């Protein structure tokens, strides 16, 4: 028998399996990072190399973050970008991000990843697309390995500068041959498609307004030749929609479909401004969507039609998005915001039928399925995210899947008075940090603290480099 782990005595263990079992006095047993038993504590082995007593705690599958920009932790709360929507917000950041050197890239990745695992996230997709100043995706991959996080890294790209009609400055884009060459290098060196893989690579051109049609076509061809997934921003703002209509005469989804950017190996970040026909296209072709509620509110981008996606069968996961358009990397906070924003959207929708008053719509009962429930929000962050990333080995706690999970202490100030339904309390009540986070059967967070590395120096160095980059040094 290999390295074993036993978790026992959990007040409730949320499996997110096909039956959505919630096991009282639950536990799990893992060997070499894979689950071999999940069930009541009394049915599990009594000993293991590592034993976690989860008395008084709730256990959930590790969250899956489907969209992030880790290097943006360096520019959180930048004064020049505090009150902008997407396009001017990007223009305030591009040149600062382009100066991100290897040490800053590693530190920023560690900061963002540490925040995520402290909020229950065990699998992270990062969308990096600026590789000037010696920066490479390699430094983020190394940081994720050192911290112990399951990581999907992108060799993203921007090639369409201002002189060619794009949004980024010309000195922040790369030559397309160099992009494709380095994408091949990164895939060949790091991509691991095996079950339980800790590192996978995604090909991810940045956005419709920062890459050429040729690069989008060649990226899709390369990804399918190499068997990796495809990702980009799409339908995030009305400015983007105006851009593709004016430049190509097509809405963003139709334009991307014509470039071979639909299919089960594709997912889009944000996907806010879509119509019913486009939702049906996503469902029919297997495209996924990364819903980023905090970022979408922060930049006033809009509200994604998540309940419509779910009803149509579109794969939907959650993303905290860039740490400068969210200013935090808290996945449990994102779960709560996803639920609340869906409810706000429901309240903004006019009821059917004519108004009986000039100002106020008539009251109307909500039908089953219209609410975003706490359990649905948790499902987006677990099973939903796994499906979006094309993984069937994470997202739930069941035999044969990865031993990725986290625990929350139920006997806290945040949950006091909310334990009528402890599972829903995780979402309805104020988000709190994980007591324990386990990735691949290894403890990364213990007693609410990162244990795989000392974070104090990382934070000190990160703050110094953040200020230096913003000041132009």
- Answer whether 261's CB lies under 8 Å from 218's CB: no
Q: Residues with Cβ < 8 Å from 389, sequence gap 6 or more?
A: 64, 66, 123, 125, 152, 200, 229, 267, 317
Q: How far apart (Å, rounded) are the C-alpha atoms in residues 339 and 332?
A: 11
Domains of the chain (ranges; CATH) run 4-61+394-450 (2.30.40.10), 63-347 (3.20.20.140)
Mark the ranges of the chain whose per-residue pLDDT is less than 50: 353-358
287-310 burial code (b ≥16 CB/10 A, e <16): bbbbbbbbbbbbbebbbbbbbebb
Q: How far apart (Å, rounded) are the C-alpha atoms in residues 75 and 324?
A: 6
The pLDDT score that the predictor gives to residue 427 is 98
Burial of residue 371 (number of CB atoms within 10 Å: 0-12, 13-18, 19+): middle
Q: CA angle 120-140-76, nearest 5°?
A: 70
- Answer whether 404's CB lies under 8 Å from 38's CB: no
What is the end-to-end Cα distance of the chain in Å, rounded? 53
How many angstroms separate the Cα of 167 from the Cα of each of 84, 90, 128, 162? Answer: 15, 9, 17, 5
Q: How far apart (Å, rounded) are the C-alpha atoms in residues 143 and 147?
A: 6
Give the number of other Cβ atoms within 10 Å of residue 447's Cβ: 10
Please name which of 206, 132, 131, 118 lies closest in space to residue 449, comparing C-alpha atoms. Answer: 118
The pLDDT score that the predictor gives to residue 370 is 83
The pLDDT score that the predictor gives to residue 348 is 80
Q: How far apart (Å, rounded) are the C-alpha atoms in residues 375 and 240?
A: 33
Please name which of 425, 406, 405, 411 lies closest in space to residue 56, comparing C-alpha atoms. Answer: 411
The pLDDT score that the predictor gives to residue 143 is 98
Q: Residues with Cβ < 8 Å from 158, sequence gap 6 or more?
A: 129, 130, 166, 168, 172, 173, 174, 205, 206, 207, 210, 211
DSSP category for residue 358: S
Residue 413's region, left for phi above 0, alpha for psi from -120 to 50, else beta, is alpha
The pLDDT score that the predictor gives to residue 368 is 59
5-44 burial code (b ≥16 CB/10 A, e <16): bbbbebbbbbbbbeeebebebbbbbbbebbbbebbebeeb
pLDDT, tens digit, 9 for 90 and up, residues 400-414 = 999 999 999 999 999
The token pair at 308 is: 């419509």
Q: How far apart (Å, rounded) are the C-alpha atoms in residues 227 and 231?
A: 13
Q: How far apart (Å, rounded) are the C-alpha atoms in residues 159 and 182?
A: 14
Q: Which long-range contacts (CB under 8 A, 24 or more apart) does 281-286 make?
A: 281/253, 281/257, 282/253, 282/309, 282/312, 282/314, 283/309, 283/312, 283/313, 283/314, 286/315
**Bridge partners, 436 (sequence order):** 407, 446
Q: CA angle 434-436-438, nearest 5°?
A: 115
- Answer whether 280's CB lies under 8 Å from 256's CB: no
Please name which of 326, 323, 313 lies closest in space to residue 281, comparing C-alpha atoms. Answer: 313
């Amino acid at each position: 028998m290999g390295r074993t782990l036993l978790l026992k005595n959990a007040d409730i263990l949320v499996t997110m399996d096909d039956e959505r079992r919630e096991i009282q006095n639950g536990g799990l047993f893992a060997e070499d990072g894979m689950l071999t038993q999940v069930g009541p504590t009394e049915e599990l082995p009594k000993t293991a190399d590592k034993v976690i007593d989860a008395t008084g705690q709730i256990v959930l599958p590790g969250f899956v973050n489907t969209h992030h920009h880790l290097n943006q932790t360096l520019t959180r709360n930048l004064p020049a970008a505090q009150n902008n929507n997407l396009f001017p917000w990007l223009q305030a950041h591009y040149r600062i991000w382009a100066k991100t050197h290897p040490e800053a890239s590693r530190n920023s990745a560690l900061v963002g990843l540490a925040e995520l695992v402290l909020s229950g996230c065990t699998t992270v997709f990062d969308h990096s697309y600026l590789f000037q100043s010696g920066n490479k995706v390699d430094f983020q991959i190394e940081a994720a390995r050192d911290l112990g996080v399951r990581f999907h890294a992108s060799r993203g790209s921007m090639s369409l500068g201002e002189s060619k009609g794009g949004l980024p400055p010309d000195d922040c884009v790369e030559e397309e041959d160099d992009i494709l060459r380095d994408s091949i290098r990164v895939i060949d060196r790091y991509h691991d498609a095996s079950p339980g893989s800790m590192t996978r690579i995604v090909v991810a051109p940045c956005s419709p307004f920062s890459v050429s049609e040729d690069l989008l076509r060649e990226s899709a061809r390369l990804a399918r030749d190499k068997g990796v997934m495809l990702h980009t921003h799409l339908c995030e703002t009305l400015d983007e929609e105006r851009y593709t209509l004016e430049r190509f005469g097509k809405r963003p989804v139709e334009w991307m479909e014509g470039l071979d950017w639909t299919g089960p190996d594709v997912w889009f970040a944000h996907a806010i401004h879509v119509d019913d026909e486009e939702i049906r296209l996503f469902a029919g072709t297997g495209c996924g969507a990364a819903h980023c509620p905090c970022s979408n509110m922060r930049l006033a981008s809009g509200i994604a039609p998540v309940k419509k996606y779910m009803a149509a069968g579109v794969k939907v996961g959650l993303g905290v998005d860039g740490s400068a358009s969210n200013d935090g990397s808290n996945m449990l906070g994102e779960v709560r915001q996803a639920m609340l924003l869906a409810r706000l959207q429901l309240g903004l929708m006019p009821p059917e039928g004519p108004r009986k008053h000039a100002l106020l719509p008539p009251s109307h009962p909500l039908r089953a399925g219209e609410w975003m429930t706490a359990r649905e929000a948790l499902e987006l962050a677990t099973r939903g995210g796994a499906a979006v990333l094309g993984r069937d080995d994470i997202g739930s706690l069941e035999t044969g899947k990865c031993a990725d999970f986290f625990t929350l202490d139920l006997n806290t100030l945040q949950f006091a008075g909310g334990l009528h339904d402890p599972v829903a309390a995780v979402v309805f009540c104020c988000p709190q940090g994980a007591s324990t986070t386990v990735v691949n059967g290894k403890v990364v967070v213990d007693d609410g603290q990162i244990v795989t590395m000392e974070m104090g120096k990382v934070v000190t160095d990160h703050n110094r480099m953040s200020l230096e980059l913003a000041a132009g040094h």
